[in-house]
Amino acid sequence: MNQLDETSHNLIFEGKRLEPVSLDCNMVGFCSKCDLDLESLAYHSTESNWLVCAHCRNEHLILMRYDRQWNWQGDYDLEIGTEKVSVSSIAKEKLETVFTQAEIRDMLAYEQSAPYTRQNLYRARAKYEKFEKLFGIKIDV
């Protein structure tokens, strides 16, 4: 399932995380479920496609796929959620803003199924909500 993060507007598409190239709000078509106007939420780009996340006033969600010349390729299901990201994929500078070096070390160790100190992991987990508020990233540990 394709998923659009409600905070960052990052899109999970075909297992890849795509950051938005635009958050412009435009009328982009009509909803196939209720015939209301579709309004864009975010635009994303891949090497061969443009992807437009859109919704109608009834909150039906759709992912529209276009080729690089903006020829329509098809519509796909889309859901809104909170993106969970592995600790190893987050920039160290962001982690260091909230977590101690020991907490970061043990979060990475836990992620890799290596030995870790439980207390450091507990302290880190208590700070997940603060990290999510600051960066819009939900840690998957």
For residue range 29-42, what is the model confidence (pLDDT) as tens digits?
A: 999 899 999 999 99
Same structural domain, 96 and 134: yes
Same structural domain, 64 and 6: yes
How many angstroms separate the CA atoms of 55 and 36, rounded?
A: 9
pTM over 0.75: no
Domain with 109, as residue range(s), is 84-139
**Confidence at residue 66, expressed as pLDDT on a 0 to 100 scale:** 97
Instruction: Provide the percentage of residues in the chain whose pLDDT is more than 70.
Output: 98
* Residue that finishes a domain, picked among 34, 49, 81: 81
Same structural domain, 91 and 61: no
**Confidence at residue 83, expressed as pLDDT on a 0 to 100 scale:** 64
User: Which strands sit side by side in the sheet containing 11-13, from one edge to the other?
Assistant: 16-18, 11-13, 2-5, 78-81
Same structural domain, 72 and 109: no
**Closest Cα partner for 88 from 54, 111, 56?**
111
**Confidence at residue 1, expressed as pLDDT on a 0 to 100 scale:** 79
| Chain mean position to CA 111 | 20
For the chain, what is the domain count? 2
Same structural domain, 74 and 91: no
Same structural domain, 40 and 98: no
Same structural domain, 46 and 15: yes
Q: Tokens standing for 79?
A: 């859901």
* Residue that finishes a domain, picked among 40, 65, 81: 81
Same structural domain, 65 and 14: yes
